[in-house]
Amino acid sequence: MSAVVWVDGTLHSANAPVLQAGNHGVTVGDGVFETLAVRDGDPFALTRHLVRLQYSLDRMGMQAVDIPFVRSGIREVLEAEPADVARLRITVVSGPGPMGSVRGTGKPNVIIWGGPGSAPGACRAVRAPWKRNERSAIAGVKSTSYAENVVMAQFAAKQGADEALMSNTFGYLCEGTGSNVFIERRGEVVTPPLSSGCLAGITRGLVLEWGAKAGMPVRVAAPGELEMAVLDEVRHGDAFAAVSSSTRGLAPVVWLDGADLREGPLLRRVGELYESHADVEHDPPPPRTRATV
């Protein structure tokens, strides 16, 4: 399976040297990104991802990107490897800069990578001993400064897990290193609010919207409603959990800190609903205003 990369308007093979060593994205992680699944050859929920990309750029104080230009890059990547591209990654780095944290005046680079995806499946999770800082300057930004997530993902992998779930600094359930989290208990499904410091996941948003539209009991938890201790209930089988992301969809947590878990029956129905909508609606229009919960 081959991967392909498009940088600032030109296609390359995936391992071509395309950035300068002094790029501020490389030296200090000064950039933002999006990861998308490809469904039947279409970049899934592309408009929503592009809206979030612009939001992340804005929060980082970076220049806006030309959206039609990015769309053309995605088309070129998909046309170059139509059979192999199951996952797309859009990265915008701030460009050449000094060897310090202050950004240079260089032109940002837009990088679009297309290649094989990972098979979605059930999630094996651990609880991370570290916290998401909901008051961070980049809380809720999909920044390339993901070193914290790398450390937590390594921590999970060492224990045979593929995701680490974390709380925020108040001890409330927040998210995973690359996913949002949903809890089923007392006949409903709830997910932490954005004020917990989690990313406004595209999948999370669609699960909430499509679930509500179908009249299912799926909602955003009130701030402070979901203590991290809810995962003790999950571990004891009194509640159920699932994680959501563009590459996983809504995936049940079937193992948590050494305990095998059952899939939540309601979460399973919500997951099926999500898949059936996503199969036919490849670019759901973004909400008119950015979600604030």
Ligand X SMILES: Cc1ncc(COP(=O)(O)O)c(C=O)c1O
Q: Which residues contact ligand X (rule: CB under 6 A)?
A: 35, 175, 178-180, 198-199, 201-204, 244-246
User: Considering beta carbons, is residue 243 or 266 the nearer one to ligand X?
Assistant: 243
Provide long-range contacts, Cβ within 8 A and 24+ apart, for 25-29.
25/91, 25/93, 25/94, 25/95, 25/109, 25/144, 26/93, 27/97, 27/99, 28/97, 28/100, 28/101, 28/145, 29/143, 29/144, 29/145, 29/146, 29/147
Q: Does residue 56 sit in helix, strand or coil?
A: helix
Strands 163-168 and 123-132: parallel
**Pick 35 or 167: Cβ nearer ligand X:** 35
Q: Least Å distance between CB 180 and ligand X?
A: 5
CB of 254 to ligand X, least distance (A): 19
Question: What's the closest the beta carbon of residue 203 comes to ligand X, in angstroms?
Answer: 3
Task: Give whichever of 199 and 231 is closer to ligand X, judged by the CB atom.
Answer: 199
DSSP states of 191-202 as a string?
A: E--GGGT----H
The C-alpha atoms of residue 71 and residue 282 are separated, in whole angstroms, by: 15
Closer of 202 and 278 to ligand X (Cβ): 202
Q: How far is the CB of 115 from ligand X (least distance, A)?
A: 16
Nearer to ligand X, 72 or 149 (CB): 149
Q: How far is the CB of 201 from ligand X (least distance, A)?
A: 3
Query: What residues contact 288, with CB distance under 8 A and at least 6 apart?
Result: none
Nearest-CB residue for ligand X = 201
